[in-house]
Chains A and B, each alone.
Chain A
Amino acid sequence: MSARAQDDGWTLAGRRFRSRLIVGTGKYRDADETRDCLALSGAEIVTVALRRVETEPGKPSLLDAIDRSRYALLPNTAGCYTAEDAIRTCRLARDLGMTDFVKLEVIGDRRTLFPDAEETLAAARLLVKEGFVVLPYTNDDPVMAKKLEDAGCAAVMPLAAPIGSGLGIRNPYNLRIILETVKVPVIVDAGVGTASDAAVTMELGCHAVLMNTGIAGARDPRLMAEAMRDGVVAGRKAFLAGRIPRKLHAAASSPESGLIE
C-alpha cells in the first residue's frame, strides 16, 4: 500500500498536540467518571474553572482526578461578566495552575451565555501583554476573530451554538470564513451535541473542538467520550481526504455497459 496522508496533529502556542479534542471537566457524576471520560476522549488538554474553595475536610479535589503529566490544564474564566473579573481570574489561575494557558470567556448575557465582544477584546489585549497564552471564546464573527488574532491571541474559539445547548454547528459558513481570515488555530467551542457535530467541525477544517456537556450530559458519558473521539478522528480524516462535490443528480458507481439482456 502506498503512503497515506496522516493527521500529524496541530500546534498551539508552539506546543504540539495529537488530539484535536479538548474536553471540559464539569457536570460529571464523580471523580471516577471524570477520570474515565477524560481518558476515553483521548484529549490532551482539559479545561477547569476557578471558584472559591470550600473548607470541608475530606472533600475530594478536582485535581485528584487529573493527571497533570498527561493533560495540559486550560483554566477558564467562565462566569466572568467584565474584563476586570476575567483578568483577576486568569492571574489566580496562573499562580495556582503553573500554566500561562487561559480560556478567556467574558459573558455578556445570562440567558444565552453569548460573549461580550468589547470586554473580551479588552481583556485579551491586557492578558497578552502579561504573557498569557490567550484562547478567547467568541461569537462566530470573522471580524472579531481577526481583531482577537491581531491582539495576539494564540487561537480563536468561535462558538458553534450556545454553551450547553447541543444545537450543533449553526453556521458552518461563518466558521469557514473565520478559517480563511485568521492564521492562528480555530477551535470550535460550545454547542456540539453529538459525534456527527464533532465530525463536522473537523470536516470544515477547524483545528480542534472543545466540549463538555455533549459528553458529560449524555446518557452514557463514557461511551459518548469515545464516540466524540472517533467523530473527531473520522472528521479530520475526511477533511484530509477531500470530500466529493455535491451534485444534484445521480452518478452511477457501477458500470453502465455490459449489462445482461
Chain B
Amino acid sequence: MELNVTVNGESRAVPDGCTVAHLLELLGVDPARVAVERNEDVVPRATWREARLEDGDRLEVVTFVGGGA
C-alpha cells in the first residue's frame, strides 16, 4: 500500500509507514542540510525517525541558499 503526499508542491507516492527520515533518503538529500515542515508545522529533526507520514500530508523540505535581503 502507498500513501500520497505532496513534497515541495509536487505529489509523490511513498510506502505506507514511511517516516520523515525515510522520505529524505528517498529524495536523496543530506539530512544535515535540510529542515522539514509538515502541514505548516516544523517537524523537529530529533523526531524524524519516528514521524510517520500520513496520506495527504503536505511537506516542505528546505535548505539554506545564498541570500542577503
Which positions in A face B, CB cutoff 8 Å? 23-28, 34, 47-53, 55, 57, 61-63, 73, 75-76, 78, 88, 91-93, 95-97, 103, 105, 113, 137, 163-164, 189-190, 210-213, 216
Contact = CB atoms under 8 A, between A and B. Distances in A.
A26 B42 contact: no
Given A55-B27, A61-B33, A88-B40, A96 B63 contact: yes
Contact of A62 (B35, B44, B45, B64): B64
B33 A23 contact: no
Q: List 10 A-B pairs, minimum CB-CB distance, nearest first.
A: A24-B68, A212-B68, A49-B67, A96-B35, A26-B66, A25-B66, A92-B35, A48-B64, A26-B67, A53-B63
Nearest to B61: A53
B1 interface: no
15 contacts: A25-B68, A27-B66, A48-B64, A50-B65, A53-B33, A53-B63, A62-B63, A76-B67, A92-B35, A95-B36, A96-B33, A105-B69, A163-B69, A164-B69, A213-B68
B32 to A, nearest CB: 8
Contacts of A97: 64
B62 interface: yes
Given A76-B69, A103-B69, 11 more contacts: A24-B66, A25-B67, A28-B66, A47-B69, A50-B35, A52-B61, A61-B30, A62-B66, A91-B42, A93-B64, A113-B69
Instruction: From B36, B61, B68, name the one whose CB has the most chain A CB atoms within 10 angstroms.
Output: B68
A170 to B, nearest CB: 16
B8 interface: yes
A210 B69 CA distance: 9
Contacts of B42: 88, 91-92, 95
Contact of B8 (A52, A105, A213, A216): A52
Interface residues of B, number: 25
Specify the main secondary structure of chain A where it touches its partner.
mixed
B27 A190 contact: no
Contacts, number: 113
Given A53-B8, A53-B34, A92-B35, A63 B69 contact: no
B43 to A, nearest CB: 8
B64 A49 contact: yes
Contacts of A53: 8, 27, 29, 33-34, 61-63
Contacts of B44: 95
A27 B68 CA distance: 9
B11 to A, nearest CB: 15
B37 interface: yes
Contacts of B65: 26, 48-51, 62
A73 B68 CA distance: 11
